[in-house]
Every structure is written in structure tokens, then in C-alpha cells.
């Protein structure tokens, strides 16, 4: 993760002037849950006498929070670990720790194969980090990759590392029970468990009190969030839609987003809750993966093309101005040209506003790796992915063009990268808009009229409501 000088100064002031604290540098790869986990790790380490630094050269401890989702994600991390080896050559006392999904997947293999690594800590063992670090300081390499059925870090207030002071991630659950055949996450993150809703609401309230204006509730499959508690004589059940309402009610001026929704679990109840509360953003990330029912079955996604389209219909009728984004995998095992065409046609039919698109990457020990042949040739995967990317380019452009001439409420998130005179922010539909600053500040809501667009952003100016 990138830090800027401003972040570093925030940390230093938060940590008193005690320069004797050992300094930890954290680099993060992978999904938003990993970003949030690094914030939990920072919180645990600060409470145990460490300081966080954004400068790798002044670090006493280098931590890399890793991702295993595709082979190239792991290759990138291996490259970084080798680079840390260079840092260690010039400063041998530096400790190097591997956290996250690669730690969980590769376990002691990482210690054996990468001599520079001093500790390996899986996603459910971060409370052990201070103990493992102390042992490593005494020359003892350490590993803890135990997965838990309970750990949700519910009581830990994450230290916001990417501090823009406006938007924050809040994890509401961990793990995944879905077992999509291609996916490594159930193995690296363990079984699904939901976090106590009262701790979620408390964390959201703290964020509001600290001036935050947007939260994104995170889970691999937020729609299966589930909590039960005893209220007197009755057992009370809290579903995702109940939780969404509880969070929306914390403050009407706080924007609420969530990710990721699984098509098989997205209920109308959730859609009605979204429609009812103005501050729940009108955007749903609903990974389709493939447009072919046969491939979806092999992927163990538990919905058909028709089921997916039924959910799209429900979204369109309950929340007419909702944007929809997705994830797509090209070239899954046995995928034919006909299957691929069905993916292209479902993309057209839905008209996705945005998509993350990937080539299938076989992950060791997953169901697909054990039972199916990764038989689509590399060049075919590449060509199909290119076709998907090209089509999505057109759909994304169309989605932006449809916004030209309209007005949107926009949360100002920061200064535009291209101009000091402009801000960027997002619409409720999660589209980025760039506009002249006038006399406004980061963190404010403004109304913006969209006058133009580029392939990546909307362009507009502030107007009166």
C-alpha cells in the first residue's frame, strides 16, 4: 500500500514523540479485506509498543500482507520478498514477516524457501504478532497459521492507514463457506463467521465522530451475514438487511456501501432496505463470473444464467438508478466458444457499469485443480479476455455517457491527480467525477452537474441543489 508524507505525520503525532519505538513498514496486496486487515495489524502493533512508518528504509520490521487469488498475485509478492532480502543485506537486524493468504496457503514452505522470511502469520493469528515478533528479535523464526472459527477482531479499532479521513472499510465477517471450485479463499481464510453487530455499529459511530463520511461494509459474501442473540426469552436473528439498516441509521449523512454480494444470496429484502435509505449507495457489486450455466455449475456458483438475470431484473425494478459492477473469469476449465459468447451476451444484456476481468488461474488444491483440467490454451484465454475487456470498455463508456446532463450528489474525496484546482469524488453509483473546487472542502457533499466524460471519469461542475 502506498502512504504519503501526510499519513506518516499523522501516525507520528498519534504515537507521541517516542522515537525509541521499533518501526514497522506494512505493504498490502489483494482485496479490500486485506487492506482492512493491515489496519487491524497496525492497531495491534501500536498497542504493543511499535510505530508505523511509510519509509521502508527506516523500518525495523517489514510486513507484507499477501494475496493468493491468482498465480500472478503470488509472483508479484515473491518479487517483493526478494527485494526485502536486499534491504536486509544493508541492515541485517531487519525482520521480515509474511502475513495474509500466502502465509496461510504456503505455511512453513515460505520459511524453508525464502531465507529472508522471519515470520509467517495467517489471517486469524494477528493477535499473536507481538509475541512472534519478540521471538524473532531473539533469533527464533516463528509461524502461526491456525485458522479460527470465532476470530473477527471485533474489539479492535483499525488504524486507518490510507487516511483520507473520508471513507473507511469495516469488516462485518470473515472467511467463506461457498467453495467456488476455482477459489482459494475458503482455504486461506477459513470458515465463514459474522461479527457482533453491536461492535460494527460502535465502530461506525466512532468513524462518524472522527469525521468520516462513508463506510464500506466488507465480507466475501455479505448477503450471508448472520447473527443470533438472546433478547430476554426470545432469540433475535440479525440478517444482512437488518445490519444494513442499523448502519444506515447511525447517521443519515453517512454513506453506506458494501461488497461483495453473491448472486445466490442477494435477497429482495436487501434491495428494499437499499431503496428505503437514501444514504445506502445505489451500487451493487454482483460477480457473474460466466454467462454460461454449464460453466457456472462447474464453478459451483449455485445459480444459473437465468437466476442471475432474475436478480438483475429485481435490482432494476426496486432501485431503478442502481449501478451494477461485476467480476468475470475468462477461460475456465472446458470453456468453449459458445460458453464464451454467452459471457459476452450476458454482459451486453446487463450492461455492466464496471467490471474486474481475469484469466482463469488454477490454484493448487482447489476443487477445480483436483477434478478438472485447465484445458483452455493460454492464447485462447488471452484472446477471450481481450474480447471481454474490449466489450466492457464500450459498456463502461456507455454507462458514463448516460450520465452526461444529469445531476448527482457527490462526496468530495480528494484533490484530482491531474489538477490542483479540481477535486474528485464519487456519485452514489460509485462513478468518479472530477470538478473545479470552488470554495469547498474534502469530506463535503456537493451537487455536481455532469457535462462530459472520459473513458475513466465523469467531468462536471458544482451546482446549487
**Which residues in this chain contact ligand SAH in the complex, by CB under 6 A?**
69-70, 182-183, 185, 220-221, 260, 262, 287, 289, 327, 329, 358, 360-361, 363
Output 146 or 179, the one with its CB closest to ligand SF4: 179
Output 26 or 33, the one with its CB closest to ligand F3S: 33
Q: Smallest distance, Å, CB 59 to ligand F3S?
A: 22
Binding site for ligand SF4 (CB under 6 A): 176, 178-180, 183, 185-186, 220-221, 262
| Distance between CA atoms of residues 225 and 287, nearest Å | 17
Q: If we measure between CA atoms, which residue out of 212, 237, 233, 209 comes closest to residue 225?
A: 237
Q: Smallest distance, Å, CB 375 to ligand SAH?
A: 15
Cell numbers linked to 47: 498497542
Residue nearest to ligand F3S (CB): 30
Output 137 or 265, the one with its CB closest to ligand SAH: 265
Q: Smallest distance, Å, CB 402 to ligand SAH?
A: 25
CB 362 within 8 A of CB 374: yes
Output 185 or 254, the one with its CB closest to ligand SF4: 185
Q: Smallest distance, Å, CB 55 to ligand F3S?
A: 24
Q: Smallest distance, Å, CB 260 to ligand SAH?
A: 4
Output 102 or 312, the one with its CB closest to ligand F3S: 102
Q: Smallest distance, Å, CB 413 to ligand F3S?
A: 23
Q: Smallest distance, Å, CB 176 to ligand SAH?
A: 6
H-type alpha helices, 351-420: 367-371, 378-401
The binder of 329, among ligand SF4, ligand SAH, ligand F3S, none, by C-beta within 5 to 8 A per type, is ligand SAH
Query: Which residue shows C-alpha cell 447473527?
Result: 227
Output 78 or 277, the one with its CB closest to ligand SAH: 78
Query: Which residues of 331-381 form beta strands (DSSP E)?
Result: 354-359
Output 185 or 312, the one with its CB closest to ligand F3S: 185
Q: If we measure between CA atoms, which residue out of 370, 423, 442, 431 comes closest to residue 399?
A: 431
The binder of 358, among ligand SAH, ligand F3S, ligand SF4, none, by C-beta within 5 to 8 A per type, is ligand SAH
Q: Smallest distance, Å, CB 28 to ligand F3S?
A: 9
The binder of 33, among ligand F3S, ligand SF4, ligand SAH, none, by C-beta within 5 to 8 A per type, is ligand F3S
CB 183 within 8 A of CB 222: no
| Distance between CA atoms of residues 324 and 327, nearest Å | 11
DSSP reduced 3-state for 272: helix
Q: What is the DSSP letter of 409?
A: E
The backbone torsions φ and ψ at residue 138, rounded to the nearest 5 degrees and listed phi first, read: -90, 15
Q: What is the DSSP letter of 81?
A: H
Peptide bond connecting 260 to the previous residue in cis, omega within 30 degrees of 0? yes
Binding site for ligand F3S (CB under 6 A): 30-31, 33-34, 67-69, 100-101, 184-185, 188-189
The binder of 188, among ligand F3S, ligand SF4, ligand SAH, none, by C-beta within 5 to 8 A per type, is ligand F3S
| Distance between CA atoms of residues 16 and 463, nearest Å | 43
CB 306 within 8 A of CB 452: no
| Distance between CA atoms of residues 465 and 446, nearest Å | 8
CB 175 within 8 A of CB 189: yes
Output 262 or 340, the one with its CB closest to ligand SF4: 262
The binder of 30, among ligand SF4, ligand F3S, ligand SAH, none, by C-beta within 5 to 8 A per type, is ligand F3S
Burial class (CB in 10 A: 0-12, 13-18, 19+), 123: buried
H-type alpha helices, 138-281: 185-189, 197-209, 240-248, 268-276
Output 35 or 176, the one with its CB closest to ligand SF4: 176
Amino acid at each position: 500500500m502506498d502512504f504519503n508524507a501526510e499519513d506518516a505525520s499523522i501516525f507520528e503525532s498519534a504515537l507521541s514523540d517516542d522515537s525509541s519505538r521499533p518501526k514497522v513498514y506494512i505493504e498490502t496486496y489483494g482485496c479490500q479485506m486485506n487492506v482492512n486487515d493491515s489496519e487491524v495489524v497496525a492497531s495491534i502493533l501500536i498497542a504493543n509498543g511499535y510505530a508505523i512508518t511509510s519509509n521502508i528504509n527506516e523500518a525495523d520490521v517489514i510486513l507484507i500482507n499477501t494475496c493468493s487469488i491468482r498465480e500472478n498475485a503470488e509472483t508479484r509478492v515473491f518479487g517483493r520478498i526478494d527485494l526485502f532480502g536486499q534491504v536486509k543485506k544493508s541492515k541485517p537486524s531487519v525482520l521480515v514477516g509474511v502475513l495474509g493468504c500466502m502465509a496461510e496457503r504456503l505455511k512453513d514452505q515460505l520459511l524453508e524457501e525464502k531465507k529472508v522470511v522471519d515470520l509467517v502469520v495467517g489471517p486469524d493469528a494477528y493477535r499473536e504478532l507481538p509475541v512472534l515478533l519478540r521471538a524473532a528479535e531473539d533469533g527464533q523464526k516463528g509461524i502461526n497459521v491456525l485458522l479460527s472459527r470465532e476470530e473477527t477482531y471485533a474489539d479492535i479499532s483499525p488504524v486507518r492507514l490510507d487516511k483520507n479521513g473520508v471513507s473507511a472499510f469495516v469488516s462485518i465477517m470473515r472467511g467463506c463457506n461457498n467453495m467456488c471450485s476455482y477459489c482459494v479463499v475458503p482455504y486461506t481464510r477459513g470458515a465463514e463467521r459474522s461479527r457482533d453487530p453491536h461492535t460494527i455499529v460502535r465502530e461506525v459511530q466512532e468513524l462518524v465522530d472522527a469525521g468520516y463520511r462513508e463506510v464500506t461494509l466488507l465480507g466475501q459474501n455479505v448477503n450471508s451475514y448472520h447473527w443470533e442473540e438472546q433478547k430476554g426469552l426470545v432469540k433475535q436473528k440479525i440478517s444482512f438487511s437488518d445490519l444494513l439498516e442499523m448502519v444506515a441509521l447511525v447517521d443519515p449523512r453517512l454513506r453506506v456501501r458494501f461488497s461483495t454480494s453473491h448472486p445466490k444470496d442477494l435477497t429482495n429484502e436487501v434491495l428494499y432496505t437499499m431503496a428505503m435509505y437514501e444514504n445506502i449507495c445505489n451500487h451493487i457489486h454482483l460477480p457473474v463470473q460466466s454467462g454460461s450455466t454449464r460453466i457456472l455449475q462447474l464453478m459451483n456458483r449455485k445459480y444459473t444464467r437465468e437466476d442471475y438475470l432474475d436478480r438483475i431484473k429485481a435490482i432494476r425494478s426496486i432501485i431503478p438508478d442502481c449501478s451494477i459492477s461485476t467480476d468475470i473469469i475468462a477461460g475456465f476449465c472446458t470453456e468453449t466458444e459458445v460458453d464464451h459468447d454467452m459471457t459476452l451476451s450476458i454482459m451486453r444484456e446487463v450492461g455492466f457499469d464496471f467490471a474486474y476481468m481475469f484469466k482463469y488461474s488454477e490454484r493448487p488444491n482447489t476443487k477445480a485443480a483436483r477434478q478438472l483440467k485447465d484445458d483452455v490454451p493460454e492464447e485462447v484465454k488471452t484472446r477471450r479476455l481481450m474480447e471481454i475487456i474490449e466489450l466492457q470498455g464500450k459498456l463502461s463508456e456507455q454507462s458514463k455517457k448516460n450520465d452526461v446532463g444529469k445531476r448527482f450528489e457527490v462526496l468530495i474525496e480528494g484533490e484530482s491527480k491531474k489538477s490542483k484546482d479540481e477535486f474528485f469524488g464519487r456519485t452514489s453509483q460509485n462513478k468518479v467525477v472530477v470538478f473545479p473546487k470552488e470554495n469547498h472542502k474534502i469530506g463535503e457533499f456537493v451537487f455536481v452537474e455532469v457535462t462530459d466524460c472520459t473513458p475513466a471519469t465523469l467531468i462536471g461542475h458544482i451546482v446549487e441543489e
